Amino acid sequence: MSTERERAGAGPERTCIGCGKKRPKRSLRRLVLDEQGQLAVDQPQTAPGRGAYLCGEGCLTAAAKRKAFQRAFRGAVKSLELKHLEAALQRTP
């Protein structure tokens, strides 16, 4: 279990909530909840509070199907606009 982490070197790893794969945090997209309970892309990955991580747009639908967003944010997600999120993920590098 720990060997993969050691091979990857330093740096935190996070699990993609769509496919469940562990990846270096820097290669994942971070999502946070804004004050309205809407999901937003945290491009600089510095927003405070809970975050959820995705490999990219491809894992968005999978995450929604698994209700992974509600799990990640403890049911605090008020609305899940996949189209909106997908566009936001595509917009940010």
Q: Tell me which residues touch Zn ion (CB under 5 A).
A: 16, 18-19, 55, 59
Our CB check for Zn ion shows the closer of 12 and 48 to be: 12
Question: d(Cα 33, Cα 92) in Å, to the nearest integer?
Answer: 17
Q: Tell me the β-bridge partners of 16.
A: 53
**Whole-number minimum distance, CB 16 to Zn ion, in Å?**
3
Our measurement of the distance from residue 74's CA atom to the centroid of its chain's CA atoms, rounded to an integer in Å, reads 14
Judged by CB, which is closer to Zn ion: 37, or 58?
Answer: 58
Q: Which is nearer to Zn ion, 78 or 92 (CB)?
A: 92
Coil, helix or strand at residue 13:
strand
